[in-house]
A and B are shown apart, each in its own frame.
Chain A
């Protein structure tokens, strides 16, 4: 498959017991399309530098930018330099930068321009000769999905998509949105797969690069403590929340017609659900992990009736902390008649023995109370309380909360006796501050994902089937919302519209205040 000695025994210097030794990517280069974009500046280029700084990029690594700008190579270097100085995680070191900058190239042109892609092909050839990238190249499409077909076609036409020799590789990296419903996702997959085989396609869901998300697997499968109660016998329901405090601002144009469910639930939240609910994989190999995720996603569906189990909203003006912010419809350049939701809540049911009868509530929104992502497993009450009811009035349900961001960690909530002569039980929390001191030096999600992609390690990237299954879950509610009704307005700075609370209130539950 690849030259990346997949069999470590074949390399006498590698040893599975040698856990210090980092995997350095083999000789390779990265081409970024849409290099002028926000993501590229804030995340990709700094991540490349941070990887170089940690010594994880191969000697002779090459970074090529492609954009419709009248830039020289130096201009491009300057742009990367700015991005790195502003956003890199690790300290700036001139020697690292100098080595990295030797591998910068820039190709100017539009996606329609055949000549530009021919120039890109020449640049890539030149890199193979001068830098020793050895014919291994990754193409990062940091561009709107509408441009995927033309870029893929151009890559195929100019011969960039195909490797010249069997032990070389060409890979493509794409970002969400992966379509806007099942049909369009299939179409998109077909377009990409037409040029790149599925094993060469790396879909970035940056949530999967987060340490805390990977920690879900460690928490569940490395411990004896949690797995026995991780099922419908003990779990009452699960809440998965991703709240943002920001509004749309400059992204308004992109967001209209997409909305919170497509933007967040389809990818991030359903992936978190899969990690939380999946069965134990036989091993942690990419294929086995994926098999379990696909299994659980294929058993997941929306709880019915949709009018009662889902909610959507649109933020209006309000106080966001100390700042008075405008509503969605007043955002510059936004369609004032838009029915696009900025808050979405859905209820999922998982048809397996483990989860039968346990609702999974997923919600996301913009301009909510604070920026937070968390998974809360709420347990059933003890079947019998040998206390008077007055003693346990303040006792809630036990809960285990995985805080994905910020303040990464795990909280367990349980009852404890209030000191004093009377027997009174009240909720207390036990806290594991994973983020407290780890965050500072734990790698950014993009660092991990770019390195994994260069190494050809696919565990943390959703495959086409997962994407399609997610759309299959979400499509019914998207269709319902498109057909009728309006999102309910909610003031900025709160926790969403009343209809969102009603989704849980119907069964006597409440959203946790994250």
Chain B
């Protein structure tokens, strides 16, 4: 069910929510967190809501979407409440503010009465994020702040900003997209021969923040030189090579879909390594609400990564 409430106020929205609960039963009672989505008024807003709904199937939550409408307009708040089939396992409250109500301060204060009591609050900026998310008025309400460097206009600059402004509780989807890569690499090192890695090369698209983060992560975990190159032209992360005395472990994904893992003395193994869907990434983010220290170290590790055109082994 979708209830539209044009030119309304937050207290009316709150009232309507209580009324809907009384009519519909247990809405909002089993919810484990509040997800605040902050977007501009664009076509991608609906996309973000859909991903949040899909993620809510694992983490029943209340989704508050703060849409920043036109600044040059009269003050006005349009609200929309979606429950039941239109909202997955969540309930969605869209608050679209215009004029002064489109500001971050107003957005935060509109979200306050809608937050679930006693439950964690997560903020998500699907597009442009504030420079220091933790200092943003909405960010200050939350335990966890999710940004997406890859969705920004200047992905690498955004990532550098994240690194220099990191506050515990920050997270970025560029990091989430790496989980499977990291797991495969770690699993490869679980197997014999248990040799030390002597150096590592990470290659990927020039403005792929995930590639930089992956290199940063390796640099933070391994006390060896890590090099970041830009040979792969498209498709995010292209390849990772961990050099060891007996030969390198290589995980290569030439077509952004299927990866292949090669190790000395073993047949090449192929593995699906598709870019993960937004809802998939968001589900993973919502699973853990404590600060991600490994991510913080990966951000810090980026400073140790050397950049170059050719990998250190320079086979090409």
Q: Which one of A75-83, A124-132, A213-221, A298-306 is at the interface?
A: A124-132
Q: Check if A441 sits within 8 Å of B57, measured CB to CB.
A: yes
Q: Check if A99 sits within 8 Å of B189, measured CB to CB.
A: no
Q: Check if A436 sits within 8 Å of B180, measured CB to CB.
A: no
Q: How far is the CB of A102 from chain B (nearest CB, A)?
A: 7
Q: How far is the CB of B120 from chain A (nearest CB, A)?
A: 16
Interface positions of B from 270 to 316, Cβ below 8 Å from A = 270-272, 274, 283-284, 287-288, 292-294
Q: Check if B190 sits within 8 Å of A4, measured CB to CB.
A: yes
Q: Check if A24 sits within 8 Å of B183, measured CB to CB.
A: yes
Verify if B157 is at the interface (C-beta below 8 Å from A): no
Verify if A96 is at the interface (C-beta below 8 Å from B): yes
> Please, how many residues of chain A have a CB less than 8 angstroms from a CB on the other chain?
45
Known contacts being A55-B180, A132-B269, is A432 close to B189, with CB within 8 Å? no
Which of B191, B218, B287 is within 8 Å of A3, CB to CB? Answer: B191
Count contacts between A and B, CB distance < 8 Å.
124
Chain A residues lying within 8 Å of B260, measured Cβ to Cβ, are 59
Verify if B109 is at the interface (C-beta below 8 Å from A): no
Complex Cα distance, B187 from A21, in Å, reads: 10
Q: Check if A437 sits within 8 Å of B267, measured CB to CB.
A: no
Q: Check if B191 sits within 8 Å of A26, measured CB to CB.
A: yes
Interface positions of A from 160 to 182, Cβ below 8 Å from B = 167
Interface positions of B from 173 to 201, Cβ below 8 Å from A = 176, 179-180, 182-187, 189-192, 194, 197
Interface positions of A from 1 to 54, Cβ below 8 Å from B = 3-5, 10-15, 17-27, 52
Verify if B60 is at the interface (C-beta below 8 Å from A): yes
Q: Check if B187 sits within 8 Å of A24, measured CB to CB.
A: yes
What residue in chain A is nearest B251 (Cβ atoms)? A59
Known contacts being A3-B190, A3-B191, A99-B272, is A436 close to B89, with CB within 8 Å? yes
Verify if B7 is at the interface (C-beta below 8 Å from A): no
> Which secondary structure dominates chain B's binding surface?
mixed
Q: How far is the CB of A494 from chain B (nearest CB, A)?
A: 29
Chain A residues lying within 8 Å of B258, measured Cβ to Cβ, are 95, 99
Known contacts being A17-B294, A131-B267, is A437 close to B272, with CB within 8 Å? no
- Tell which of B29, B186, B274 has the most Cβ of chain A within 10 Å: B186
Q: Check if B183 sits within 8 Å of A55, measured CB to CB.
A: yes
Give A420-452 as 1s and 0s: 1 = Cβ < 8 Å from B's Cβ atoms. 000000000001110011101110000000000
Verify if B6 is at the interface (C-beta below 8 Å from A): no
Chain B residues lying within 8 Å of A374, measured Cβ to Cβ, are none
Verify if B261 is at the interface (C-beta below 8 Å from A): yes
Q: Check if B89 sits within 8 Å of A59, measured CB to CB.
A: no
> Please, how many residues of chain B have a CB less than 8 angstroms from a CB on the other chain?
46
Q: Check if A13 sits within 8 Å of B184, measured CB to CB.
A: no
Q: Check if B197 sits within 8 Å of A22, measured CB to CB.
A: no
Known contacts being A12-B221, A433-B26, is A132 close to B267, with CB within 8 Å? yes
Verify if B222 is at the interface (C-beta below 8 Å from A): yes
Chain B residues lying within 8 Å of A129, measured Cβ to Cβ, are 267
Q: Check if B183 sits within 8 Å of A59, measured CB to CB.
A: no
Chain A residues lying within 8 Å of B192, measured Cβ to Cβ, are 3, 167
Q: Check if A20 sits within 8 Å of B179, measured CB to CB.
A: yes
Complex Cα distance, B197 from A10, in Å, reads: 12
Q: Check if B272 sits within 8 Å of A13, measured CB to CB.
A: no
Known contacts being A55-B272, A441-B283, is A13 close to B191, with CB within 8 Å? no
- Tell which of A4, A14, A23, A129 has the most Cβ of chain B within 10 Å: A14
What residue in chain A is nearest B175 (Cβ atoms)? A20
Complex Cα distance, B85 from A133, in Å, reads: 45
Chain B residues lying within 8 Å of A17, measured Cβ to Cβ, are 293-294
Which of A5, A55, A132, A440 is within 8 Å of B190, CB to CB? Answer: A5
Complex Cα distance, B285 from A19, in Å, reads: 11
Q: Check if B270 sits within 8 Å of A21, measured CB to CB.
A: no
Chain B residues lying within 8 Å of A99, measured Cβ to Cβ, are 258, 270-272
Q: Check if A58 sits within 8 Å of B187, measured CB to CB.
A: yes
Verify if B56 is at the interface (C-beta below 8 Å from A): yes
What residue in chain A is nearest B190 (Cβ atoms)? A5
Which of B89, B180, B274, B288 is within 8 Å of A440, CB to CB? Answer: B89
Verify if B72 is at the interface (C-beta below 8 Å from A): no
Q: Check if B184 sits within 8 Å of A22, measured CB to CB.
A: no
Give B215-227 as 1s and 0s: 1 = Cβ < 8 Å from A's Cβ atoms. 0001001100000
Verify if B58 is at the interface (C-beta below 8 Å from A): yes
Verify if B30 is at the interface (C-beta below 8 Å from A): yes
Q: How far is the CB of B176 from chain A (nearest CB, A)?
A: 8
Verify if A93 is at the interface (C-beta below 8 Å from B): yes
Q: How far is the CB of B250 from chain A (nearest CB, A)?
A: 12
What residue in chain B is nearest A409 (Cβ atoms)? B30
Sorted from nearest, which 3 A-B pairs have the closest CB atoms? A437-B89, A60-B269, A59-B269
Which A residues fall within an 8 A CB radius of B? 3-5, 10-15, 17-27, 52, 55, 58-60, 93, 95-96, 99, 102, 129-132, 134, 167, 431-433, 436-438, 440-442
Given contacts A13-B185, A95-B258, A437-B30, 19 further A-B contacts (CB under 8 A): A3-B190, A3-B192, A5-B194, A13-B189, A13-B221, A18-B182, A55-B183, A59-B184, A59-B270, A59-B271, A99-B271, A132-B263, A132-B267, A134-B191, A134-B266, A431-B30, A438-B57, A441-B58, A442-B58
